[in-house]
Amino acid sequence: MVARILGAKGLAGVMRIEPLTDWREHLEVGATVFLEGEAEPRRIRTAEWGGRVPAVGLEGVASREEAASLIGRYLEREPATLPEGTYYWHQLEGLAVEDPSGVHLGVLREVFRAGEAEVYRVELTDGGELLVPAVRDVVRRIDLEAGLIVVAYASEEVR
């Protein structure tokens, strides 16, 4: 996912977006994206970065009504190979979460941004919720093959 559509802007099918990528070029004019749920890619025809909220126009979206009908959907790209130690959000969602001593805490249910940081929302086994900042001091290990994330969530465990 490279962006989430927040709303329509103007009358010509432009959409306000929440960028979800670290690579702005994924959302520049001429870039190719997939509208969530569609098999065929679309080209970005306009991109506006000067305002408070970025906005893009896609090929095939020409009216405010068409743009408004897409609110809440995501813009996606073909996955690129990531450097070692970095992951796509969908790879992490559903992994078991343990503390450093091996105690099962719960399951990672959601990854989201809070400002410039990523946060993991863990559904705890007791039904509660734990929000974990995605920083090295807290997230100690991610093992996709084992389906496991180890987090130091209490202040005495964080160095």
pLDDT for 115? 80
Per DSSP, what are the bridge partners of residue 111?
120
pLDDT for 157? 46
pLDDT for 158? 43
pLDDT for 51? 83
Instruction: Give the separation between CA 66 and CA 8, rounded to whole angstroms.
Output: 9
pLDDT for 99? 94
Instruction: Give the separation between CA 136 and CA 125, rounded to whole angstroms.
Output: 24
The fraction of the chain above a pLDDT of 70, given in percent, is 96
Average pLDDT of span 84-111: 92
By the 10 Å C-beta count (0-12 exposed, 13-18 middle, 19+ buried), 105 is classed as: buried
The dihedral through the CA atoms of 21, 13, 33, 49 has a sign that is negative
**Which one is predicted more confidently, 21 or 72?**
72
Question: What's at 130, amino acid-wise?
Answer: L
Domains of the chain in sequence order: 3-76 (2.40.30.60), 89-157 (2.30.30.240)
Share the mean pLDDT of the chain. Answer: 91
Task: Give tens-digit pLDDT for 17-35.
Answer: 999 888 889 999 999 999 9
Nearest in space to 37 (alpha carbons), one of 69, 81, 82, 80: 69
Count CB atoms within 10 A of the CB of residue 34. Answer: 17
Average pLDDT of span 64-79: 93
Count CB atoms within 10 A of the CB of residue 62. Answer: 15
